Amino acid sequence: MCPTLPGKRTSAVPSQTRSASGEPTRRSYSRKATQLRKRGSPNHSNGKVSGFGARGVTLAEIEAQIGYSFSDKELLVRALTHRSFSQESSTPTLDNERLEFLGDAVLQLIVTEKLWKDFPTDDEGVLTHMRSERVNGRSLAGIFRCRGMGNFLRLGKGEEKTGGRQKPSIQAGAIEALVGAIYLDAGYTRCVQWAESWFWSAGLNEKKVLSQDFKSQLQRLAQKNGNKPPGYRLVRESGPEHEKEFEVEVRLGRKVLGRGQGTTKKAAEQVAAKEAVHKIEEA
């Protein structure tokens, strides 16, 4: 169940050009945002925004939903503007793809730093897998839906008709663009604070992810017991192309510890790993 959303927050980042640590602060980021606006994005400072489907929404409503109040509202609007809207717009409109590119890198760093601090004994391979589970498109799209962001996308009419609002790739892209926008608006420190309150409580919690990721659990158990990493082998593949069924076995050394079936190899591996984890824990 998705938790109660945090209230709307205002940034506490000082307005000097550069902080004592050398990190650019809100003023320098806002200057960049102003330059972006001059390149062709209309001013939405009055809070009224078009393009969000049949029901009009205000920027204040969106900010309340995401739990962050932007100094530069243009960044918020751009973060939620899909390229299909820009392509159909009669006036020059910036889309969210560059913010998505930036936000992807920022989010990777935020999650990497948190995992590095929270799991000091895990090796690079385990940490990489854990990070992937948190920032892949499926997870981010789940956060988007959990946070009730469906109405807060600016889509072109064609994309709207083909169900763009429900497409995981568009949802995940908007989340990454929001991260990039907040980073530009307030800097890295404030972006980390927002991400920890918004992402971790909504579905990037370590224990929750680990409890569902039996492959990582099995690898951790193998390392703890001094074994080599587990090996997975495809035993059987059946069914037509559109309805495949896979059976996989997992071994520690020469010993088969689990078998699993699924509609994808990854799903079958998770089932096999789950069986292996239970066997090890019960031994």
Q: Encode pLDDT of 20-68 as tens digits.
A: 445 544 444 445 544 444 444 445 554 556 666 556 678 899 999 999 9
CA distance 118 to 110: 12
Residue 104 designated active-site: yes
Residue 176 designated active-site: yes
Any idea which fold 213-282 has? Double Stranded RNA Binding Domain (3.30.160)
The answer, as to whether pTM is greater than 0.85, is no
The catalytic position among 74, 95, 100, 104 is 104
Closest CA to 146 of 101, 218, 205, 188: 205
The catalytic position among 122, 159, 176, 213 is 176
Looking at the chain, which residues constitute the CATH 1.10.1520.10 domain(s)?
A: 26-205
The CATH class of the 26-205 domain is: mainly alpha
Between 168 and 39, residue with greater pLDDT:
168
pLDDT at 151: 85
CA distance 161 to 231: 45
Closest CA to 235 of 245, 244, 248: 248
